[in-house]
Amino acid sequence: MRLGNGEGTKNSVRTAESREPFSLMRIQSLKLSTLLLLAGVLTAPTIHGNDIEPGKEFYTVVYAPKPIVLDGNLSEWSGVPVLADPKFAVPKYSGTNASPNYVLFEQYDGGKWTGPDDQTSAVQIVYDADNVYFGFVVTDDYHENISGGAWNGDSIQLMIASADRTTQVALYNYALGGYEDATGKFVADANLPDPTNPVIVHHEAGPGGDSACNCPTEAVIKRDSVNHKTIYEIKLPVASLGLTGPLTVGTQFGLGMAINDGDGALVDGVQYGQAGQQGQKGWGGLGAHSIVFGKTPSETAQVTLGTTVSGSDRLFLSAVNPSIASFTFRATDKGASIVNPASAKLTIDGNVVALTSKKTGDATDFTYTAATPFAPGSSHTYSIEVKDTLGNTVTDQGTFKTAAVKIGLKFASDEPTELAPDVPVLLPDDVAGVPAVAQANWNNLAGPGDGTTAVLLKSDSGANTSVTVTWDSNNTWASTGKGEENNNFPIGPDRILMTGYLDTDAATTSHVTIAGLPNELTGGGYDVYVYLLGGVAGKGGGYRIVDSAGAVLKNYVLANCNVNPSSYTEVPQNLAAGVHGVGNYIVFKGLKAADITIEATTVAPQGAGTPPRAPINAVQFVPAAPSAPLAVAIQRAAGKININWTAAGAVLQESTDLKTWTDLPAATSPYAVTPGARTHVFYRLKR
């Protein structure tokens, strides 16, 4: 085994600013409405359910079978159960939807996840009277963290929450600062205070960083560049958890982890790894949504301390990944438990299917390729059985629903024509678009269009569809490379997406006509993203959507391109009449028509600038985003009970029998109720 320079040393503590993706914290989310019961005293409902896949939200930690030594060698962890690649629902807060989309890895900011060799994790957790210990083995094809911070690149972030998961207790971050050079050798980040000790520990919040507590966490991190694995061994003293020792059976706390990935490093002008993949480009992990897109303790798993486990190591299953046309999973050797590939059996919907296998190092990857793809959005059951060479059997079972369809159209893919024949185009596995809906398999469409030639489209899975597009425009142009420079997106798929565009003249209209959108989009509704970035900022036009008969489905949104953007900015809507919002994409929400036309016009009074322009770089169709969760607060004051809410457009309803509900249109927040006035009354919010 070859280890990186200076690895295996104890941690140094560094302070770093945390800049993870942010969104507002959810108070509470229920599938359809928030229901309140008033019967003398009004009681808030119990918070339950989050984005963690079923069966993984509650986890029992075993007592350490042997004393744990922080040295980056997990040999003393033998027999401890492995938690491998728990899935979570995306986007955040969608885990309580009727059909959540569970993923192993969430791509972010142009990041790509290419499979289990790119990033997967095996986690073991144990405790003794004084500490909780974590052992992580992260399989990662390239190691990078040259940000100087313990989150922006390959790293592990931990959230500790209260037992009821309503309150954040601590945030602790861990990283090995450095990158791998052209030979694959780990090189410590020269900008660290002590490059000979590249382990970074960041006590972002909580008692671990409080000198009065004197309970710092510790970590040893080693990189095995030969086998592409990073080993983290972490110790959290009892006080750093906000608990009082000794730790005993039955103790509970909330736990979330974001296992971040970065796959490229630009060092002194030399690119190592993948271009455009430096920094935090995505994450996996148990309860990752407790940490990313805003700190949310209700998204942690509930951990309960259990008793000592006995037994030996067993192979473990990970990266269980069904898709529309295949089903893949990984079985990894552990200790003397060696995978027997011939024993593997996969059953889907009660039918045993044929598997192929490939072993690399300690990992055996299994693949089933469906003769006929699963229907998009369809539900299925599966079970996996794998034996080791000693005859021990490991199983897994569950359900899956094939991903709902996205369809992306990249226009003017031949621009800038000055670069022909070397114009950069989006490749099938290039992921581009607004991060919340980014996809692969964009359809590259060249030329201004003639309004009559129909082109069949592929979905984001690469599968063929029956959806067609026709388009017409005055001409095509580019936001960079044609003498007008207004595209500062980083080199990579998003820059390509936002380069070429359908262009207008001073008073013309471009049309993009879509026919045959599938039920997977129209059944539950869909959103349309229109991407717009012209070569000159401050020019704009009007964008709307009509149906096949010309009836207006979404009226004009006026938009001006922003100045030399490096990231996506949504165009604000519902502004004063005649005011153009500034940004580089528009979202039209909640459509259901199978056939539509998107219009981009500079005809007065929609046009802006001299001359006006209404570019269309790309169009994307995605399943309708879930509604924002309803937030409710309840207070007793001056002998009354006040019901408070913030959701715009929500209407309070009341019922005495849970059958007939009456709108209270005049009710505003806070709504005061006098206890005892009626025997019982139920309240809920609707939108």
Please give the share of the chain, as a percent, with pLDDT higher than 90. Answer: 70
- Lowest-confidence segment of 70-74, 145-149, 351-355, 641-645 by average pLDDT: 641-645
For 69-93, what is each residue's pLDDT tens digit? 999 999 999 999 999 989 998 878 8
pLDDT tens track for 642-676: 888 876 667 888 888 887 888 888 888 888 888 87
More confident residue, 98 or 28: 98
Q: Classify 94 in phi/psi space as left (phi over 0), alpha (psi -120 to 50) or beta.
A: alpha
Q: What pLDDT sits at residue 7?
A: 34
CA nearest 143: which of 85, 223, 210? 223
Tokens 């993949």 locate to: 277
Residue 156 has pLDDT above 90, yes or no: yes
Whether the CB-CB separation of 261 and 274 falls below 8 Å is answered with no
Q: What residues have CB less than 8 Å from 576, skipping those under 6 apart?
A: none
SS3 341: helix
Q: Answer with the residue of higher pLDDT: 523 or 232.
A: 232
Is residue 525 predicted with pLDDT exceeding 90?
Answer: no
> What dotted CATH number matches 407-623?
2.60.120
What whole-number distance in Å separates Cα of residue 614 and Cα of residue 602?
Answer: 6
Range 531-541 average pLDDT: 95
Written as one letter, the residue type at 481 is: G
* Minimum mean pLDDT range among 194-198, 279-283, 555-559, 666-670: 666-670
pLDDT tens, 303-338?
999 998 777 899 999 999 988 778 999 999 999 999
65, two tokens: 């079978």
Identify the band that residue 223 occupies on the pLDDT scale cut at 50, 70 and 90.
very high
pLDDT confidence of residue 403: 67
Q: What is the pLDDT of the chain when averaged over all its residues? A: 88
Domains 316-401 and 407-623 share a fold: no
Q: Where in the chain are the domains?
A: 12-17+52-308, 316-401, 407-623, 632-686
pLDDT value, residue 408: 98
The CATH class given to the 12-17+52-308 domain equals: mainly beta
If phi > 0 it is left, if psi is from -120 to 50 it is alpha, else beta; for residue 150 that is: alpha
pTM value surpassing 0.85: no
| pLDDT exceeds cutoff 80 at 24 | no
Confidence of residue 8 (pLDDT cuts 50, 70, 90): very low
Spatial CB neighbours of 273, under 8 Å, sequence gap ≥ 6: 142, 144, 179, 180, 263, 264, 265
Confidence of residue 679 (pLDDT cuts 50, 70, 90): confident
316-401 CATH: 2.60.40.10
Residue 443 has pLDDT above 60, yes or no: yes
Q: Which two tokens stand for residue 618?
A: 């790309």
Banded model confidence at residue 680, pLDDT cuts 50, 70, 90: confident
